[in-house]
Amino acid sequence: MRFRLALLLVLLTLPAIAADALPRPTGAVLLTISGSIAVTNAGKEARFDRAMLEKLGVRTMQTSTTWTTGVKTFEGVLARDVMKTAGAKGTEIRAIALNDYAVMIPMEDFERYDVLLAFRMDGQDLTARDKGPLWVVYPRDAHRELNDSKFDARWAWQLKRLDVK
């Protein structure tokens, strides 16, 4: 009798577990997260389209960059929110761009700073021609220590994948 009751309780909770799972993208996939993650929607990966990213909460940041003139306004999602959504458990992230540029980013950066995965700059959607569709953007004007070449190397543009280590 106890076994049946326990089994019934498990079966009753299954729909709730499935409802919390990451939905599958319905649009073009902009970002794939792999590696040490707990939440997936495509095999061992978490894939996100634009709408899925926007549901995490669009943030705006104004900052200068090494590659542009003046202060720019970026819109995107906080990298830490994307990592949380994918259930990321690691200390480093390998960011990989469309052109296969890869850089290691400490997970601590995403926790310490409001790093954006930006999809818009100055009101214009980023495309592959202008560092999109996603660009890792640090709030360099808000933190003096971010004005350093070691952080500049972490500004991966044309971002397509994050591999959590």
Is pLDDT above 50 for 60?
Answer: yes
Q: Which position has the higher pLDDT, 127 or 17?
A: 127
Mean pLDDT of 106-129: 97
Q: What is the pTM of this model?
A: 0.86
Give the pair of three-digit tokens for residue 128.
Answer: 């592959």
Mean pLDDT of 16-35: 82
Pairing type for strands 102-106 and 116-121 reads: unpaired
Is pLDDT above 80 for 41?
Answer: yes
Distance between first and last Cα of the chain: 44
The C-alpha atoms of residue 68 and residue 85 are separated, in whole angstroms, by 31
The residue whose two tokens read 């930006």 is 118
Mean pLDDT of 6-19: 39
Per-residue pLDDT reduced to its tens digit, 67-115 = 999 999 999 999 999 999 999 999 999 999 999 999 999 999 999 999 9
Is pLDDT above 80 for 8?
Answer: no
Asked whether 158 and 98 are in contact (CB, 8 A), the reply is: yes
- SS3 of 67, please? coil
Which residue ranges form the domains of the chain, and what is each CATH number?
A: 23-164 (3.90.420.10)
Asked whether 30 and 48 are in contact (CB, 8 A), the reply is: yes
Pairing type for strands 29-35 and 159-164 reads: parallel
